[in-house]
Amino acid sequence: MISQFPQGAIRTDKEAVLRGIGEPLTAGLRIEAMLFNTLIGTHDFSEEPGAFGEKRKAKWKND
């Protein structure tokens, strides 16, 4: 279920889709990259790879 994923990622994915509607592919990719970069440095960004490496379920803070 989508609700099991970090809210910040869901929010930026939705925004990328809404902002990219009707735009050329290159513009859509720029929008996606810009929004992705806003997540770098958050706890949730590094939580999934860390949890995977430690073989545990991710604990999202939704920051």
Question: Could you tell me which residues come within 8 angstroms of residue 26 by beta carbon, excluding any fewer than 6 positions away?
Answer: none
| pLDDT classification of 2: cutoffs 50, 70, 90 | confident
| Residue 63 pLDDT greater than 90, yes or no | no
Q: In this predicted structure, what is the pLDDT of residue 28?
A: 96
Q: What is the pLDDT of residues 18-58, one digit of tens each?
A: 999 999 999 999 999 999 999 999 999 999 999 999 999 99
Report the C-alpha gap between 27 and 31 in whole angstroms.
6
Q: In this predicted structure, what is the pLDDT of residue 62?
A: 83
pTM of the model: 0.79
| Ordered domains of the chain (ranges, CATH) | 2-54 (1.10.12)
Question: Could you tell me which residues come within 8 angstroms of residue 43 by beta carbon, excluding any fewer than 6 positions away?
Answer: 61, 63
